[in-house]
Structure 1
Amino acid sequence: MLMIRRAFPPRIRAITSVMDVVLLVGLFVQVVAGIWTAIFYGWGSSWYAGAAVPYLWSVLQFNPNISLVENLPLMVKVHIVGAFSLVGLFPFTRLVHFLSLPIQYIWRSPQVVVGNQSVGAVTHSESKL
């Protein structure tokens, strides 16, 4: 839905940056890799506990142990790399505003942007007064 929203309305497409598109494509790849993993590798709950959790723990300790995930299928690796890529790209997109303070931004009503009249139209209408 985010990709469709960014692609079709002209006003939104005009303010969409290249990094927004890169992040949305990355998010699409991440979702496809996750669904692929869930469908074709039903043993995901066991490898997650045995491989991904120790790998993530090693990353959090700033000592990544790549050998824990090197034997996993390609789509699982794509999913892992995709997650790190999205986290790395996120600060350079407009979606980072989601994390802005105040947190009420999450629950706010949609913003309505009202354009100003052109300067010529305002000057012309004022001259008739």
Structure 2
Amino acid sequence: MKSMTKPRHDHQVQRETVVKLVMHWRREPRELATLRVRRKPWGYDISPQPIEYIKTKNIDHLLYGPGPTIVHGETGVIMSLSSSPGDYFGPVGYSGLDSMEYLDRMIAERSIPPTETIYESLNQIQNEM
């Protein structure tokens, strides 16, 4: 019989670090920022959707246009996606994202600089305070 529990993915980047970044980006309390951050085998997915949609999945609250922001679980590289078919279904699109190797390929093919990390963003926020 298959286990019904979700596998836990241990990443170098901690979920709490991603939640802190979302709190600053969105100017939301921890409770709401936490709802946006989903742990994945490759890192974290940050939803741009309104909290009403995240809580209810009611399409009346669904925003069209922005896609998720993703955070590499090992390096902390941040990549924002749109909801365009190319970003979602393209040759290295979000719909196929199922492993760290695939995410590394997405980052390489999109030429995302390795310095654009969650740590750089948090340091910049600290320096502005």
Q: What range is the shorter-chain TM-score in?
A: under 0.3
Specify which structure has the bigger relative contact order, considering alpha-carbon pairs within 8 angstroms and separated by 6 or more residues: 1
TM-score between both structures, scaled by the size of structure 2: 0.24
Structure with more of its chain in helix, by fraction = 1
Structure index of larger Rg:
1
TM-score between both structures, scaled by the size of structure 1: 0.24
Structure with more of its chain in strand, by fraction = 2
